[in-house]
Structure 1
Amino acid sequence: MTITFKNSKAIDKEQLESLYNDVQWTAYTKDLDILQQALIQSLEVISAWDGERLVGLIRIIGDGLTIIYIQDILVLNVYQNQGIASQLMQRTLEKYDSVRQKVLLTEEASNVRHFYEKNGFQSCDKGSLVAFAKIN
């Protein structure tokens, strides 16, 4: 298996639906047109491919100068624990190294916490920061 990475926002709706549904992010796939438009309007999308199959992606929003927000990072279940998400994250962090604020919001789970901490993120519950969110 050889994974290739692409910087492109143009991803087929069916490929997006398959990826997001596989990781049970079905709130995104209720309206695939909106999901596809969200990718297009993102600052950047880096995707991971096994041949012609979309196996993962990271979606970044923000101004790219003072703040980036990692909105989505997901990998097909059968491709997880192979370093793909870490490679997506590292590509992002390298490109936006000079950006002061790198932010994300995610669910609480030990494996999720471990992933982000090993990639240099600090939980707001362990530092001097506080995080707020209003989710509809």
Structure 2
Amino acid sequence: MDVLRFAEYKTYNEAEIMALYSSVGWSNYTNNPAMLRKAYKNSLYVLAAYADGKLVGILRAVGDGASVVFLQDLIVLPEFQRHGIGSQLMRKVMEKYADVYQLQLLTEASEKNIAFYEFLGLKRVEKYGCCAFIR
């Protein structure tokens, strides 16, 4: 594995972001680059993972940073998956917002995703007597 470095993602580079999203097939985002650019601009915090200077993973956080933070767009290049990068991105952002009342995310309900987020200590909303709505 290459040497990893984690840093706040401050300067939006459309080519590298599009390559990252394309690598995992997220065409709803890549088909609308203006929306994605605006989403990054308006994010509360974005943490990136670099291997030898190359962007290999990212996690966006949106919200107010006090009562609620929504974790959005956890992406790791396929060839770098299963090496703990996604877990490290999640842990670092969860630590940064440890005092926030609600830390939330939505994900595909696959066994793999559920196991990953439960491994990190997150719980399904049903465990709190809640449900989620989306439009």
- TM-score tier by shorter-chain length is over 0.9
Give the stretch that moved more between structures: 111-120 or 2-11: 2-11
Equivalent in the alignment of 1:89? 90
Q: How many Å separate the matches in 2 of 1:19 and 1:124?
A: 29
Quick check: 1:68–1:101 contact (8 Å CA) kept in 2?
A: yes
Quick check: 1:9–1:40 contact (8 Å CA) kept in 2?
A: no
Give the drift of 1:34.
2.1
With the length of structure 2 as denominator, give the TM-score of the two structures.
Answer: 0.94
Count of residues in Structure 1 that have an aligned counterpart in Structure 2: 134
With the length of structure 1 as denominator, give the TM-score of the two structures.
Answer: 0.94
Equivalent in the alignment of 2:71? 70
Alpha-carbon RMSD across the aligned residues, in angstroms, is: 1.1
Report the secondary structure of 1:108's partner residue: coil
The residue identity in structure 1 corresponding to 2:82 is N
Equivalent in the alignment of 1:59? 60
After TM superposition, the structure 1 = structure 2 runs for residues 1-136 of structure 1, keeping only pairs within 5 Å, are: 1-134=2-135
Report the secondary structure of 2:134's partner residue: coil
Report the secondary structure of 2:62's partner residue: strand
Give the stretch that moved more between structures: 123-132 or 63-72: 123-132
Q: How many Å separate the matches in 1 of 2:65 and 2:57?
A: 22
Q: How many Å separate the matches in 1 of 2:39 and 2:12?
A: 11
Structure 1: 5+ residue stretches without partners:
none
Report the secondary structure of 2:47's partner residue: strand
Structure 2: 5+ residue stretches without partners:
none
Q: How many Å separate the matches in 1 of 2:42 and 2:76?
A: 21
Give the drift of 1:73.
0.5
